[in-house]
Amino acid sequence: METKIDERKNIIVSLKSNYGERTKGLEKRIQDLKIMSSIKLVSTIFCGGILILSIISGQFGNELFKWQKMGLFSILSLSFIMNLPNELYELKLLKHLKRMNSKSEFSGIEKLNNELKNIVDKLNSGLKNNWIIIILAVAIMIMGIWQVLYDNNNPYWDYMKIPTILFFGIIIVRFTIINKKLNENINEMEKYCS
């Protein structure tokens, strides 16, 4: 008979990995995710920061980074940030799985497992339920490529400031909400099992 702890482990393992098949051990996967998510986080902050600085400085007449030259940075920041939240969730869940290996059961674990299952199911559905993110990403990508390929002569590029800010805003807000729920669930579980 499967225990509630085993059920929780199965829920965690059911999360779709960003890096395909899980043939490596838990320690190696955690280490690889730490490295990859750190690289992506630094790259996202760098590229996204330059994009946002370009938009903000342009509003005040100071063109520290010209928006007309930001096509490539928009494409790069888009590619870095798309899977970063999922990598961070996966890393958090794998660390939780590692700490949970020898924990005993307690009353209330079923509720926590159900909450975790709902979170993991939403994460596994990926961008299917986030059409606004997909539409914004495609629009930014197409306009960014147009801006880069045609030597900054895209007449519509100025209109991409708002979709760019909206895209980053949605990703950040969504990450904050899901991360908070995940942290609460994990902390509650580990509080009872420590």
Burial of 60 from C-beta contacts in 10 A (0-12 / 13-18 / 19+): exposed
Contact between 63 and 57 (Cβ < 8 Å): yes
Residues in the chain: 194
Q: How far does Cα 148 stand from its chain's mean position?
A: 26
Give the chain's radius of gyration (CA, Å): 20
| pLDDT value, residue 104 | 63
**Distance (Å, whole) CA 177 – CA 22:** 27
* Tokens found for residue 6: 């085993």
Helices (H), 60-160: 71-81, 84-100, 109-125, 131-149
State the burial class of residue 54 (Cβ atoms within 10 Å of its Cβ: 0-12, 13-18, 19+): buried
Kind and range of the H or E run holding 154:
none
The whole-model pTM stands at 0.88
Q: Answer yes or no: are the C-beta atoms of 4 and 72 closer than 8 Å.
A: no
41/111 Cα distance (integer angstroms): 33
Q: What is the pLDDT of residue 127?
A: 66
The pLDDT value recorded for residue 108 is: 75
pLDDT at residue number 18: 74
pLDDT by position in tens, the chain (length 194): 677 788 888 888 888 887 766 667 888 888 989 999 999 999 999 998 899 888 888 778 777 788 888 888 899 999 999 889 999 999 999 999 888 765 566 677 888 889 999 999 988 887 667 889 999 999 999 999 998 888 777 788 889 999 999 999 999 999 999 999 999 999 988 876 65
- Average pLDDT taken over every residue of the chain: 86
Least Cα distance to 14 among 128, 130, 117 occurs for 117
pLDDT at 154: 78
Instruction: Identify the pLDDT of residue 193.
Output: 65
pLDDT of residue 182: 95
Residue 87 and residue 37 in contact, taking contact as beta carbons nearer than 8 Å: yes
- Residue 82 has a pLDDT of 87
